[in-house]
Amino acid sequence: MTVMSLADFQTFSSEKMKKHNMFQSSRFFCDVYCFEPGQEQKKHVHADQDKVYLVLDGQGTFRVGEEEQVLGAGQGTMAPAGEEHGVANLSGGRLRVLVFMAPNPS
């Protein structure tokens, strides 16, 4: 059994959002995204994959389709396949998000 700790996935980069892979199989992946203030994951679409975002720390602005909402620690949302989605850290602090996506696009 593989055991991981969320505390091990807290590396940030001043250049761009940092992605840390925790788990991956041919059926899904689980990453931790780390955003410095002002960083974003640009809006994009996955035709055949659903994506779940769960805020671990901080506060982020999440967009799914035409809706946009600020979420904080313990809150999450899902971007169904075919819906445009993205995340922006418009706050003054760091943002850490747990991300699940299935099926794995790779």
Domain spans, the chain = 33-106
| pLDDT, tens only, 46-92 | 999 999 999 999 999 999 999 999 999 999 999 999 999 999 999 99
Whether 6 has a pLDDT exceeding 90, the answer reads: yes
CATH for the 33-106 domain, from 3.40.50.740, 1.10.530.10, 2.60.120.10, 3.40.50.2000: 2.60.120.10
- pLDDT value at residue 106: 67
Whether 105 has a pLDDT exceeding 80, the answer reads: no
Instruction: Characterize 12-45 residue by residue with b for buried, 16 or more Cβ atoms within 10 angstroms of its Cβ, and e for exposed.
Output: eeeeebbebebeeeeeebbbbbbbbeebbbeeee
Whether 103 has a pLDDT exceeding 90, the answer reads: no
